[in-house]
Amino acid sequence: MSQHERRSAASILQSLKGRVIVSCQASSGDPLDHLDTLTRMAASVLRGGAGGLRAEGVERVTAFRGLTSLPIIGIVKTFDANGEVYITADFRSAESLSDVKADVIALDCTTRRLLSKEPWPGLIRRIHGELGRPVCADIATVEEGLAAANAGADVVATTLYGYTVETSGARAVSWTLLQALTEQLDIPVILEGHVTSPEQVRRAFDLGVHSVVVGSAITRPETITARFVEASLERSSR
pLDDT tens for 45-66 read 999 999 999 999 999 999 999 9
Q: What's 84's domain CATH number?
A: 3.20.20.70
Predicted TM-score (pTM) of the model is 0.94
Give the total number of structural domains in the chain: 1
Q: Is 97 exposed, middle or buried (0-12, 13-18, 19+ CB in 10 A)?
A: buried
Please choose, from the candidates 101, 51, 59, the residue with its C-alpha nearest in 3D space to the C-alpha of residue 76. Answer: 59
Quick check: 221 and 27 in contact, CB under 8 A? no
Percent of the chain with pLDDT over 90: 82
Query: How many DSSP H helices and E strands does the chain contain?
Result: 10, 10
Q: What is the pLDDT of residues 109-155, one digit of tens each?
A: 999 999 889 999 999 999 999 999 999 999 999 999 999 999 999 99
Question: What is the rounded distance in angstroms from the CA atom of residue 108 to the CA atom of residue 231?
Answer: 35
Domain ranges, residue 114: 3-236
pLDDT beyond 90 at 18:
yes
